[in-house]
Amino acid sequence: MYATSYHRASSVEDAVRLRARNEEGRYLSGGMTLISTMKQRLAAPSDLIDLRHIPALRGISIDGRKVTIGAATPHADVAASRELRALCPAICELAGHIGDPHVRHMGTIGGSIANNDPAADYPAAVLGLGATVATDRRSIAADAFFTGLFEIALEEGEMVTAVTFEAPEKAGYAKFNNPASRFAMTGVFVAKTASGVRVAVTGAGSDGVFRHAGFEQALASNWSADALNGVSVDASRLLSDLHANAEYRANLVKVMAKRAVAAAG
Amino acid sequence: MGVEGIGARVTRKEDKRFLTGKGRYTDDMIVPGMKYAYFIRSPHAHATIRSIDASAAKAMPGVIDVLDGKQLQADGIGNLICGWMIHSKDGSPMKMGAWRPLAAETVRYVGDAVAIVVADSAGEARDAAEAVVIDYEQLPAVTEAVAALAAGAPQIHPEATDNLIFDWQLGDPEATDRAIASAAHVTEIEIHNNRLSPNPMEPRATLGIYDSAEDHYTCYTTSQNPHVARLVMSAFYNVAPENKLRVIAPDVGGGFGSKIYIYPEEIVCLWASKKTGVPVKWTSDRTEAFLTDAHGRDHVSKVKMAFDADNRITALKVDTIANLGAYMSLFSSAVPTYLYATLLSGQYAIPAIHANVRTVYTNTVPVDAYRGAGRPEATYLLERTIETAARELGVSPAELRRKNFIRTFPYQTPVIMNYDAGDYEASLNAAMQAADWSGFAARKAQSEAKGKKRGIGMSCYIEACGIAPSAAVGSLGAGVGLWESAEVRVNAVGTIEVLTGSHSHGQGHETTFAQIIAGRLGVPIESVNIVHGDTDKVQMGMGTYGSRSGAVGMSAVVKALDKVEAKAKKIAAHLMEADEQDIVIENGEVKVAGTDKALPWFQVALAAYTAHNLPAGMEPGLKETAFYDPANFTFPAGCYIAEVEIDPETGETDIVQFVAADDFGNIINPMIVEGQVHGGLAQGIGQALLENVQYDESGQLLTASFMDYAMPRADDLPSFKLSHQNTPCPNNPLGIKGCGEAGAIGSPPALINAITDAIGNNSLTMPATPMKVWQALHAAH
Ligand SMILES: Cc1cc2nc3c(=O)[nH]c(=O)nc-3n(C[C@H](O)[C@H](O)[C@H](O)COP(=O)(O)OP(=O)(O)OC[C@H]3O[C@@H](n4cnc5c(N)ncnc54)[C@H](O)[C@@H]3O)c2cc1C
């Protein structure tokens, strides 16, 4: 790791100010990605601005059916929240299967979506739920937030503060683990929301998380796993890597979508 | 016997230290003035080094020096060697290319060490390494053994034309070909044995300390055999004469073979310590471990197995190409030859066997012994072939094996080995019963009703442990003898130290070796300490690999203990005025049989050291040394049965049952043996389903971290059903065969046989990932 200066921000404003002052600085949330990247010397931020001690960024709040998850909320808190489970069990299940217990107690939702690893789980939920990403300066719809592999719509120095969504009528997530990393080799999040059916696929797309229009249409007219039987998955948009080729991923996308519908009930 | 003697489930004495974080590993060693090394490694799979410019790096903060291969060569440090000579069938010796501890002209794999930076901290060493400018001229690279043999492949060593190291054979080619030509049925199959990375929990590390006043070196290192390290470093690498080199392998966190070998880092850190005048420590990180720890397996074989009309095997013909990587590691030549082809008879009476093995250089990490070493490759090949034959012949795989079992012992195979004892049918029957083999059809129907594919597969393995009779291995090319040593040192108050040349790095020697003493003398196990891993403390020994610590190491302890007992009996007879023949030692006492005369053990020890009243002419003291050279290999064997359920939608394999029925000979501590089997099975299942070293075409290692190299985890594994059907080994005093590698040897074919049974397609290579199983399933239907 290269030398870096650590700052423990006390508030969102404090963090944004610190970040603005240090052009080569980075926000630090759970550090599960950033710190290991630094240890491998693949990242060299001059300053780390730690967000995990900002009370406003941490925790889950529920107002009617509106859910807000603070950016610095660890996966384990999401997995364990009874109130959230009562409204949207799928996101709790998803969070409970990220990485291992160490990762779930350190890694955060804000860090996960800001990183936008193409194999990460949360992007599927955020896109599938049609959530809104709140930042220190604006709100961004999920459809506009994830822009490519490790690419998101944030401006320089912009910070994710929370993820908000309306609890869906139904939702389900099915994940096929990469046997080595246990990230999603393919993960599909399905949701029946007030604005319609949404199906988001992670782990498989060569451009990162994406929605599957064919599945959405099929499920909109018939919410059942069987409704997906006749719908095809275009392998040409999918990743091929040392773990799985696009053809196999195309199969997984369909199988996981059906399982997600079954899980949603 | 007794609660702490042979056969008792004594909990491990060493575990308190390990479980409370008090183990002392090489990286825990801190000595005054110690500095840190960083190795600069080749980023290219094959290149020539045009120039190295370290001037900027040397001026960086904290940097003590940057040293390269030219300086190492100028100081007369020798090349790394392979210690087992193999001759090709044309009589020519194997073609050993030069492996310099620091490459001076050519780099041959990604990770090849080029220079060392020594600095005040590991971070400063790494910072400076980035400032060293190395100008490489890239050369074409090849990573696959078959491709390396092909015409026009890149040439890796000038010594080895066409990258061929040797073309060796074992057995009778004519008899084998004749039997195949006249066979009623011949099964043909191509077998791939995937390349693995050993991944011990503790990465390699070394600390080199040069003492200029004494002109003496100390090397702390993560070694399975510190004496062999010392011998090789002084005899071949000219680091220092043996009496000026102390090698200490303290607590070592697993090895699986990868810590047998002497690597460049030990040698270079010792040399750098002398050059810089400071102790130099290096600790590998995980990616460096993937890039530089010797890999295992990587065979491609063509197999023919011939049967007569009665389904008896009449011949086996094997043509193997083995990838040895960029350089010949210490025992690399022995693994695909004498540890492999000699086991190709398996548990079966096969009148004619012929194996041809070509070993090949590629631009990859050197390949050497990894848990099982050669025997997993032989077992996988044989057990997949016989299973395939059973399917082709339309007979039960169990019955085909049963029909061909060797039943009389000793049995001379056509491939050197002479099996001393075994009862293969006992393990087969026990495994089939434990697996409820006859109930499989009903279980399969249940799975089908759920939309799952169920399969069952077995593997009847045999392996050779307790390596090895020194004269025999010497005649086959080994550069060393493979005996073991022990010293049993009774202290004046009766407590005991056992100095053993075996080395424990997870095997539990501090417990099992102490059990032998505790059981024989009837003294508490706490009064026995096992000392190992330090060439200054322990007499020359050969170390731990090939499941040899029990069969060979403990046999040496028994021999030394016999001498100690004999002397103790003489002293006791003298003190109690009894006949030496009547003295017995039990329950911590030395007694005159049939009387109430007895002396506590400690009093006899004390008498030996006070020496006030010893038999006439007897030397004081109670301490004996023994060297034990085994009479033969030992032959653990067994039957493993795997039952799997496949999800046809994803290709995912669920191991619903795994049965292991083993014959390990006599068992010292069943709990430790079960632990060894569990660990071996986990690694074997890892090979079968998960693990695979992969390079890209340019020779970059794609699986250089746990994010891409899939290690087995607890939830990948079922709860194992173990049993033992032991036939004592007639060739060593404890009747031990060895248990350390069996799990890794026997399990891969059982699993692949089960999966191919489930999916109805035999074209499947390891690791059987969900994708490959899904593809094979869809190709079959
Ligand atoms: C062993 C292991 C297994 C894992 N398995 C999984 C898995 O199965 N599924 C999965 O989805 N993930 C997995 N992860 C990823 C993990 O869950 C985290 O989500 C991920 O590491 C990022 O979150 P973090 O809080 O650690 O972010 P950090 O590492 O702290 O930050 C990541 C990036 O986001 C930026 N950032 C952080 N917070 C903000 C913010 N509020 N606003 C703007 N930018 C920000 C940082 O500057 C950095 O660039 C795994 C990680 C590990 C180490």
Which residues does chain B have within 8 Å of residue A243's beta carbon, measured at their own beta carbons? 708, 769, 771
Residues B591 and B716 in one domain: no
Cβ separation of B774 and A251 shorter than 8 Å? yes
Tell me the nearest-neighbour CA distance from A4 into chain B, angstroms: 13
CATH code linked to domain A1-49 = 3.30.43.10
Q: How far apart are CA B521 and CA B569, in angstroms?
A: 12
Give the closest residue to B648 by CA, choosing from B763, B767, B761, B765: B761
Whether B722 is in a domain gets the answer yes
CB atoms within 10 A of CB A101: 9
User: Residue A114 Cα, ligand 1 centroid: separation in angstroms?
Assistant: 8
Q: Give the model confidence (pLDDT) of B217-239 as tens digits.
A: 999 999 999 999 999 999 999 99
Q: Which of the listed residues B241, B274, B292 is the one where a domain comes to its end?
A: B292
Residues B338 and B456 in one domain: yes
Report whether pLDDT(B402) > 70: yes
Q: Give the model confidence (pLDDT) of B145-184 as tens digits.
A: 999 999 999 999 999 999 999 999 999 999 999 999 999 9
Domain range for residue B376?
296-467+632-780
Residues B600 and B651 in one domain: no
Residues B643 and B765 in one domain: yes
Closest ligand 1 atom, CA of A36?
53
User: Rounded to the nearest 5 degrees, what angle is found at the Cα of A250, between the Cα atoms of A247 and A256?
Assistant: 140
Helix (H, G, I), strand (E, B) or coil at B624: strand
> Stretch A92-115: mean pLDDT, rounded?
98
Out of B287, B651, B709, closest to residue A180 by CB: B709
pTM score, whole prediction: 0.97
Q: Which of the listed residues B628, B659, B690 is the one where a domain comes to its end?
A: B628
- Of the pLDDT bands very low, low, confident and very high (cuts 50, 70, 90), residue B709 is very high
Tell me the nearest-neighbour CA distance from B363 into chain A, angstroms: 19
Q: How far apart are CA B35 and CA B282, in angstroms?
A: 9
User: Where does chain A hold its CATH 3.30.43.10 domain(s)?
Assistant: 1-49
The A-side interface with B (CB below 8 A) comprises: 1-2, 40-41, 176, 179-181, 242-245, 248, 251-252, 255
Given this model, what pLDDT does residue A1 score? 87
- For ligand 1, whether the C-beta of A103 sits within 6 Å is yes
At B520, which CATH number?
3.30.365.10
DSSP β-bridge partners for residue B65: B118
Contact present, A43 and A84 (Cβ < 8 Å): no
What are the backbone dihedrals phi and psi of residue B605, each rounded to the nearest 5 degrees, phi first? -60, -45
The proportion of chain B whose per-residue pLDDT surpasses 70, expressed as a percent, equals 100
Report whether pLDDT(B517) > 80: yes
In chain A, count H helices and then E strands. 11, 14
B641, amino acid identity: I
Helix (H) or strand (E) segment spanning residue A216: helix A213-221
Residues B438 and B318 in one domain: yes
Cβ separation of A1 and B711 shorter than 8 Å? no
Tell me the nearest-neighbour CA distance from A180 into chain B, angstroms: 4
ipTM of the prediction = 0.96
What are the backbone dihedrals phi and psi of residue B62, each rounded to the nearest 5 degrees, phi first? 80, -5
Given this model, what pLDDT does residue A16 score? 97
Atom 2 (ligand 1) nearest CA: A99
Q: Give the model confidence (pLDDT) of B464-487 as tens digits.
A: 999 989 999 999 999 999 999 999
CA-to-CA dists, residue B736 to A196, B664, B669, angstroms: 69, 7, 11
Residues B753 and B637 in one domain: yes
What are the backbone dihedrals phi and psi of residue B56, each rounded to the nearest 5 degrees, phi first? -65, -40
What are the backbone dihedrals phi and psi of residue B431, each rounded to the nearest 5 degrees, phi first? -65, -45
Report whether pLDDT(B2) > 60: no
Whether B148 is in a domain gets the answer no
What are the backbone dihedrals phi and psi of residue B615, each rounded to the nearest 5 degrees, phi first? -55, 150
Helix (H, G, I), strand (E, B) or coil at B325: strand
Q: How far apart are CA A53 and CA A108, in angstroms?
A: 12
Window 283-312 of B: residues touching A by CB (8 A cutoff) are: 287
Closest ligand 1 atom, CA of B706?
1
CA-to-CA dists, residue A39 to A43, A209, B72, B265, B290, angstroms: 8, 27, 30, 22, 17
Give the closest residue to A260 by CA, choosing from A227, A235, A238: A227
Give first-to-last CA distance, chain B, whole Å.
59
Q: How far apart are CA B57 and CA B38, in angstroms?
A: 12
Q: How far apart are CA B295 and CA B337, in angstroms?
A: 17
- For ligand 1, whether the C-beta of A27 sits within 6 Å is yes
Q: How far apart are CA A92 and CA A77, in angstroms?
A: 9
Whether B7 is in a domain gets the answer no
Q: Which of the listed residues B628, B660, B686 is the one where a domain comes to its end?
A: B628
User: Residue B767 Cα, ligand 1 centroid: separation in angstroms?
Assistant: 30
Whether B158 is in a domain gets the answer no
- Strand bridging mode A151-152 / A146-148: antiparallel
B763, amino acid identity: S
Atom 23 (ligand 1) nearest CA: A111
Window 97-126 of B: residues touching A by CB (8 A cutoff) are: 123, 126
Whether B742 is in a domain gets the answer yes
Report whether pLDDT(B274) > 50: yes
DSSP, residue by residue, B40-71: EE-SSSSEEEEEEE-HHHHTSTTEEEEEEHHH
* Side-chain-side CA neighbours of residue B196 (13 Å): 35
User: Residue B429 Cα, ligand 1 centroid: separation in angstroms?
Assistant: 52
Residues B622 and B663 in one domain: no
Given this model, what pLDDT does residue B124 score? 97
- For ligand 1, whether the C-beta of A162 sits within 6 Å is no
Place of tokens 């010797």: B294
Which residues does chain A have within 8 Å of residue B649's beta carbon, measured at their own beta carbons? 251, 255
DSSP, residue by residue, A58-93: S-EEEETTEEEEETT-BHHHHHH-HHHHHH-HHHHH
Q: How far apart are CA B453 and CA B649, in angstroms?
A: 10
Number of structural domains (chain B) is 3
What are the backbone dihedrals phi and psi of residue B176, each rounded to the nearest 5 degrees, phi first? -65, -45
Residues B394 and B513 in one domain: no
Residues B330 and B220 in one domain: no
Contact present, A130 and A143 (Cβ < 8 Å): yes
Place of tokens 């090698």: B247
User: Rounded to the nearest 5 degrees, what angle is found at the Cα of B668, between the Cα atoms of B493 and B749?
Assistant: 150
Closest ligand 1 atom, CA of A202?
11
Q: How far apart are CA B223 and CA B9, in angstroms?
A: 28
- Strand bridging mode B205-211 / B133-138: unpaired
Residues B548 and B572 in one domain: yes
Whether B225 is in a domain gets the answer yes
Cβ separation of A248 and B774 shorter than 8 Å? yes
Out of B127, B708, B771, closest to residue A180 by CB: B708
Give the closest residue to A133 by CA, choosing from A185, A89, A71: A71
User: Where does chain A hold its CATH 3.30.390.50 domain(s)?
Assistant: 170-264
- Mutating which of B689, B707, B711 best tests the A interface, going by the most A Cβ atoms within 10 A? B707
Contact present, B557 and B500 (Cβ < 8 Å): yes
Entry field: residues in chain A: 265
CB atoms within 10 A of CB B765: 15
User: Rounded to the nearest 5 degrees, what angle is found at the Cα of A260, between the Cα atoms of A258 and A263?
Assistant: 115
**Which long-range contacts (C-beta less than 8 Å, at least 24 apart) are formed by B472-480?**
B473/B338, B476/B338, B477/B84, B477/B85, B477/B86, B477/B87, B477/B333, B477/B334, B477/B338, B478/B83, B478/B84, B478/B334, B479/B83, B479/B84, B479/B85, B480/B83, B480/B228, B480/B231, B480/B542
Whether B526 is in a domain gets the answer yes
Residues B92 and B215 in one domain: yes
Cβ separation of B690 and A179 shorter than 8 Å? yes
Helix (H) or strand (E) segment spanning residue A129: none
Report whether pLDDT(A200) > 60: yes
CATH class of A170-264: alpha beta
Residues 6+ apart with CB under 8 A from A64: none
Cβ separation of B650 and A1 shorter than 8 Å? no
Given this model, what pLDDT does residue B3 score? 72
CA-to-CA dists, residue B437 to A6, A171, B428, B640, B726, angstroms: 62, 43, 11, 12, 22
Report whether pLDDT(A149) > 80: yes
Q: Give the model confidence (pLDDT) of B37-65 as tens digits.
A: 999 999 999 999 999 999 999 999 999 99
Residues B712 and B659 in one domain: yes
> Stretch A56-77: mean pLDDT, rounded?
98
- Of the pLDDT bands very low, low, confident and very high (cuts 50, 70, 90), residue B1 is very low
Give first-to-last CA distance, chain A, whole Å.
47
